Amino acid sequence: MPVGRRVAYWRGRRKLSQQVFADRLGKSKSWVDKVERGVRSLDKLSTLQEIATVLRIDTAVLLGRDAEPVEVTDRVEGVDRIRAALSRYEIPLGRPAGRRPVLPVDRMLREVGHAWATFQYARYPQVIDLAPDLFTNAQHTHAEAPVTGRVPLVEAYRITAALLVKLGDAELAWLATDRAMLAATGDRDLVAAAAVQLGQVLRASGRAREAKPVMLAAAYRIAPPVIEYGTPSELSLCGTLLVQAALAAAQYGNEPAATELIDEAASMAERVGDGHDYHRTVFGPTAVDLARVAVAVESGDARDAIAWHEKATKRRGWRWIPPGHRAAHLLDAARAYLHADDATNAARVLIEAERTAPAEIRHRPAARNVLAEIARDPRAPTTITQLAATLGLG
């Protein structure tokens, strides 16, 4: 697209008449008209910079440097590497490990712990790099130590599935989750932990109706006979699965069930308390309040979602929530503000999310969609439009 047409396009996006645009540039309306029709060329970089400033976009957008952003390219290539690694089947086919050393179980547990921490801090490019070797190494460790090596194997698949859901590849995430569930079979805690990712995958695949009964079966399988005597680990897994069931119910429009399930999870969260991370669930009262926001957004109740958001972010436990989880919640809050036609606050919380965990916005397709929607609003601040332009969403 010629530069002049780009100027015309963005002027229209900003709802500026040719006369108002010309006045802000200190030019004549005729000058603007000639630029937009391509009669007059824009040769000076200083003039392009002035135009970009008035239009609240990056100069590179006017110059047509809008090739697919590096974040998108890296994400696609990373998913392809994970897909290739999941396709090797080295252990079942008896393929030799080659020069790959078989890691002892304690070393493998440290490796998956590091990968989980990296994921929770939303350092997705690093997790993309780690994932293929992580579950391949875990497979070899499990082959050498079938009993003690099962935990790192299940955890490696869980991390991979959680990452793929974030990256928008629900079908490949389902494969990783299926392997986690099969590897966990026979261990009640591991099955419940893997089921958390199963709930995420089913919802991301548009199978919310199927997700709810599966999540409830997994939750009540791990639930203690008497809640008051349940361990924090059991309650965290059970409560997290109830949250997944609630989100599924909200997704297909069963709001009463969603409310009942989230209330049940909240009673368990009070017994666990904030600041814990049993089985990488980050379960506690604050996490449940954040889930209430997501449920309200799914149900289309923007006012309720905003109220829960404002309450949750004032809790002491908010600062104990990992950065990636906080940024994901802020994305839900941005959606709520958009539904309430409050682009200003939607932009504010999205900018906060980008500052908290940049990759949550730059690598998640869902986040990029919200960013693009906010950037289309004429009330959007320059920070948002510049970020959108940088990510090729202008």
Which pLDDT does position 98 carry in this prediction? 63
How far is it, in rounded angstroms, from Cα 318 to Cα 293?
14
Which pLDDT does position 227 carry in this prediction? 86
| Residue 218 belongs to a domain | no
Which pLDDT does position 4 carry in this prediction? 87
Which pLDDT does position 58 carry in this prediction? 67
Last residue of a domain, one of 15, 34, 62: 62
Neighbours of 44 (CB within 10 A): 9
Section 287-308 average pLDDT: 96
Neighbours of 45 (CB within 10 A): 10
Mean residue pLDDT across the chain: 91
Last residue of a domain, one of 62, 91, 113: 62
User: Regarding predicted confidence, which is higher, 211 or 67?
Assistant: 211
CB-count exposure of residue 319 (10 Å: 0-12, 13-18, 19+): exposed
Polymer length in residues for the chain: 394
| Residue 383 belongs to a domain | yes
* 10-59: pLDDT as tens digits: 888 778 899 999 998 989 999 999 989 888 877 676 788 788 878 877 67
| Residue 338 belongs to a domain | yes
Map residue 95 onto helix, strand or coil: coil
| Residue 236 belongs to a domain | no
Which amino acid belongs to residue 300?
G
Q: Which of 259, 248, 79, 109 is nearest to 170 (CA)?
A: 79
- pLDDT higher than 70, residue 204: yes
- Say which DSSP state 253 is in: T
Q: How confident is the model at residue 65 (pLDDT cuts 50, 70, 90)?
A: low
Least confident window among 73-77, 129-133, 216-220, 372-376 = 73-77
Which amino acid belongs to residue 357?
A
Distance set, CA 300 to CA 210, 211, 255, 271 (Å): 21, 20, 10, 30
The angle at the Cα of 63, spanning 61 to 69, to the nearest 5 degrees, equals: 45
| Residue 361 belongs to a domain | yes
Instruction: List the domain range (segments joined by +) for residue 48.
Output: 3-62
The CATH code of the domain that includes 45 is 1.10.260.40
Which pLDDT does position 59 carry in this prediction? 72
Q: How confident is the model at residue 199 (pLDDT cuts 50, 70, 90)?
A: very high
284 Cβ contact list (under 8 Å, min separation 6): 269, 272, 273, 274, 275, 276, 317, 320
Which pLDDT does position 392 carry in this prediction? 73
Map residue 73 onto helix, strand or coil: helix
Helix axes 323-339, 285-299, angle to 10 degrees: 30
| Residue 86 belongs to a domain | no
Least confident window among 20-29, 34-43, 144-153, 230-239 = 34-43
E strands of the chain, at which residues? none
**Percentage of the chain lying above the pLDDT 90 cut:** 68
- pLDDT higher than 50, residue 67: no
| Residue 124 belongs to a domain | no
208 close to 248: Cβ distance less than 8 angstroms: yes
Helix axes 124-144, 70-86, angle to 10 degrees: 10
How far is it, in rounded angstroms, from Cα 246 to Cα 198?
14
Which pLDDT does position 69 carry in this prediction? 54
- pLDDT higher than 80, residue 279: yes
Which pLDDT does position 232 carry in this prediction? 96
Last residue of a domain, one of 40, 62, 84: 62
Neighbours of 260 (CB within 10 A): 15
* 318-342: pLDDT as tens digits: 999 999 999 999 999 999 999 999 9
Least confident window among 17-31, 91-105, 167-181, 257-271 = 91-105
51 close to 25: Cβ distance less than 8 angstroms: yes
Number of domains in the chain: 2
Q: How confident is the model at residue 266 (pLDDT cuts 50, 70, 90)?
A: very high
Least confident window among 5-9, 204-208, 339-343, 386-390 = 386-390
Which pLDDT does position 365 carry in this prediction? 84
User: Regarding predicted confidence, which is higher, 77 or 73?
Assistant: 77
| Residue 349 belongs to a domain | yes
